[in-house]
């Protein structure tokens, strides 16, 4: 503490804690990357991409679907599927408590939301991960909703798109969650048999069991700019190899350079790009 | 070779030491103490049975990682003949953490693939502690495709702490390699028999464990994350690994109850390493039984059953939507 701070009476000291400012909560928002202070509405109008530096702020599943899908004619798939506590899992918290906390926090029942709809009038099924729901972790419900989404695509002859944002498998469901990797990968064989495209969009972050299952099985794999994508987390790798990781390691740009993904697409271009790719792959006329 | 005893086996170790001493004494003694020795031996057997009768999941994971436990190449030498090891992924390198090749099993040509750990420091390093890199999974897939082409059943042995978390592994697409195997194994047109013989560590294990039969040795483990990894994330300290092992449900018996594996293969008293000869015989029979059952099915039936089983994984409830 400096001599000046010591001199100041306590009341004046606390005045600098921004928390008591007169600005209403949520009106302003600070960019995580460049620290620019942004007007919340501006940021939202820009699809949560920082207008100053282009940083892609993570977005909730439903907002993602709102951004991608046409407003008309959507309906949700697999919402009836709900989580159960198979193992009576308990660490510092019971799993059911973790689930209800996540449910209160996000308004979702689990970490994947699936909808049938259309992107610029191109019909498709889209699944989106809710990262704020226990780290977007994949348990039985995520796996089952994914499968039901693909089955809907199969029944209606539609392409399937998944927008991933996940820390990996859900530990609280034990081996059942590991098996969701096999389950989600297996259903994609049916999509291939029917020659229906699967486009995999990887957003920040896509790691572990999600990364090492369906994420890289896309006919086209797209990364959002700057997204962290990989099998093992950077900290685990650092502890294992005892080296500092190269700059930009496991980011979309790095993956593109290594040949792991097809392209990087800005969120503001994503709708258009997906519609273009889908029409090209399924030999439909271009969207206007 | 002298048996290495784990912490919880110390009472057995003490008895065994005593027996060893007595044997040493007997060699140059006029008094016959063989009665005493056989008494102690019986006692040691009983004690081993008692201790192994109530192992905790954490103790079982110690047995699963026991440095003297039989590894894939031991099973290959023990129950297969004419093994021809095949190397490399044809793109980058040969990963020594996964071994594979053609061999005969009861005279029948098969493809055998498994994770391989090392016994001493040098060998452990050479095998990268049984942690494969992408080229390992790609080699495994290449061999599985080869098996499919020549209509050979595939037998896999799972024994890995996990896929290797390294810079090069990430650069070469560890995720893609694992995901690709899961996808391709779903539709292999030959029977696939998978046996967890030690550690079934997460995605790195699953990448060669999608098949028609998944069986586990009695003291092997199969888990979405290592107990230590889970503890350090959820309990914020790896010290709570025993609690995590309990919570995760990683043992063969628990997973059988949960319906996630087909069969638990019994081990000799005190674990596979205490009686490798007996272990080989049991393993040979388990694989033969599994193979016979699968080979009775038509290819279509085989693939349909495999797929349905994959779709059945997971537990959830369904609720009417308001």
**Which of A75, A91, A175, A191 is the best substitution to test chain B (most B C-beta atoms within 10 A)?**
A175
Share of chain A above pLDDT 90, in %: 84
| Residue A22's pLDDT band (cuts 50, 70, 90) | low
CB contact under 8 A, A144 and B314: yes
CB contact under 8 A, A213 and B314: no
pTM: 0.93
CB contact under 8 A, B179 and A81: no
Decide: helix, strand or coil at residue B99: strand
pLDDT digit string, tens, across residues A58-98: 999 999 999 999 999 999 999 999 999 999 999 889 999 99
Chain B residues inside the 8 Å CB shell of A260: 173, 176
CB-nearest to B316 from A83, A181, A185 is: A83
Chain A residues inside the 8 Å CB shell of B175: 211-212, 215-216, 229-231
| Mean per-residue pLDDT over chain A, rounded | 93
What ipTM, to 2 d.p.? Answer: 0.95
At residue A18, does pLDDT exceed 50?
Answer: no
Interface of A with B in 218-257 (CB under 8 A): 229-233, 236-237, 240-241, 243, 245-246, 249-250
Query: Distance, in angstroms, between B316 CA and closest chain A CA?
Result: 5
Residue A133's alpha-carbon distances to A64, A98, A99, A113, A168, in angstroms, are 15, 9, 8, 11, 12
CB-nearest to A80 from B174, B223, B320 is: B320
**pLDDT tens digit at each of 322 positions of chain B:** 688 999 999 999 999 999 988 888 877 766 778 888 889 999 999 999 999 999 999 999 999 999 999 999 999 999 999 999 999 999 999 999 999 999 999 999 999 999 999 999 999 999 999 999 999 999 999 999 999 999 999 999 999 999 999 999 999 999 999 999 999 999 999 999 999 999 999 999 999 999 999 999 999 999 999 999 999 999 999 899 999 999 999 999 999 999 999 999 999 999 999 999 999 999 999 999 999 999 999 999 999 999 999 999 999 999 987 6
CB-nearest to A176 from B169, B314, B321 is: B314
**Which of A174, A210, A246, A262 is the best substitution to test chain B (most B C-beta atoms within 10 A)?**
A174
């Amino acid at each position: 503490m400096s001599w000046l701070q010591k001199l100041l009476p306590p009341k004046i000291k606390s005045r600098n804690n921004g928390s008591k400012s007169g600005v209403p909560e949520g009106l302003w928002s600070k960019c995580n990357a460049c620290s620019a202070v942004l007007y919340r509405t501006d940021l939202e109008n820009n699809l949560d991409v920082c207008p100053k530096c282009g940083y892609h702020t993570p977005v909730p599943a439903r907002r993602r679907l709102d951004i991608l899908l046409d407003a008309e004619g959507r309906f949700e798939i697999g919402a009836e599927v709900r989580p159960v506590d198979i193992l009576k899992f308990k660490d510092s918290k019971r799993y059911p408590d973790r689930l209800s906390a996540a449910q209160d926090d996000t308004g979702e029942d689990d970490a994947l939301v699936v909808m049938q709809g259309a992107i610029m009038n191109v019909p498709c099924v889209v699944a989106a991960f809710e990262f704020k729901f226990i780290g977007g972790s994949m348990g039985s419900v995520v796996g089952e909703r994914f499968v039901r989404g693909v089955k809907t695509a199969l029944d209606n002859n539609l392409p399937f798109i998944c927008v991933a944002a996940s820390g990996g498998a859900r530990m609280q469901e034990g081996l059942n969650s590991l098996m969701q990797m096999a389950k989600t990968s297996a259903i994609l064989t049916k999509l291939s048999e029917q020659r229906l495209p699967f486009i995999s969009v990887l957003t920040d972050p896509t790691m572990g069991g999600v990364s090492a299952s369906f994420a890289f099985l896309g006919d086209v794999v797209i990364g959002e700019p700057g997204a962290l994508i990989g099998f093992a987390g950077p900290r685990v790798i650092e502890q294992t190899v005892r080296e500092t990781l190269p700059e930009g390691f496991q980011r979309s740009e790095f993956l593109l350079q290594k040949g792991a993904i097809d392209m990087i697409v800005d969120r503001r271009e994503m709708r258009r790009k997906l519609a273009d790719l889908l029409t090209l792959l399924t030999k439909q006329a271009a969207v206007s | 070779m002298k048996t290495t005893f784990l912490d919880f086996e110390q009472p057995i170790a003490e008895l065994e030491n005593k027996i060893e001493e007595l044997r040493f004494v007997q060699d140059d003694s006029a008094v016959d103490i063989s009665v005493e020795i056989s008494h102690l031996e019986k006692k040691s057997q009983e004690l081993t049975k008692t201790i192994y009768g109530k192992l905790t999941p954490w103790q079982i994971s110690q047995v699963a990682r026991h440095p003297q436990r039989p590894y894939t190449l031991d099973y290959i030498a023990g129950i297969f003949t004419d093994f021809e090891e095949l190397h490399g992924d044809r793109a980058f390198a040969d990963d020594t953490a996964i071994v594979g090749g053609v061999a005969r099993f009861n005279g029948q040509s098969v493809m055998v693939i498994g994770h391989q750990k090392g016994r001493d420091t040098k060998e452990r390093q050479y095998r990268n502690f049984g942690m494969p890199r992408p080229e390992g999974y790609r080699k495994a897939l290449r061999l599985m495709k080869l098996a499919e082409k020549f209509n050979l059943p595939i037998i896999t042995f799972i024994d890995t702490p996990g896929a290797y978390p390294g810079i090069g592994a990430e650069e070469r697409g560890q995720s893609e390699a694992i995901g690709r195997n899961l996808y391709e194994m779903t539709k292999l047109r030959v029977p696939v028999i998978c046996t967890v013989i030690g550690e079934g560590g997460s995605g790195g294990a699953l990448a060669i464990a999608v098949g028609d039969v998944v069986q586990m040795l009695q003291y092997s483990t199969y888990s979405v994350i290592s107990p230590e990894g889970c503890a350090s994330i959820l309990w914020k300290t790896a010290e709570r690994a025993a609690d995590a092992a309990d919570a995760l449900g990683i043992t063969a018996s628990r997973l059988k109850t949960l319906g996630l594996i087909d069969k638990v293969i019994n081990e000799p008293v005190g674990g596979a390493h205490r009686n490798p000869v007996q272990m080989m015989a049991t393993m040979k029979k388990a694989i033969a039984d599994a193979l016979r059952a699968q080979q009775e099915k038509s290819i279509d039936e085989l693939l349909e059953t495999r797929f349905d089983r994959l779709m059945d994984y997971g537990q959830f409830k369904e609720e009417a939507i308001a």
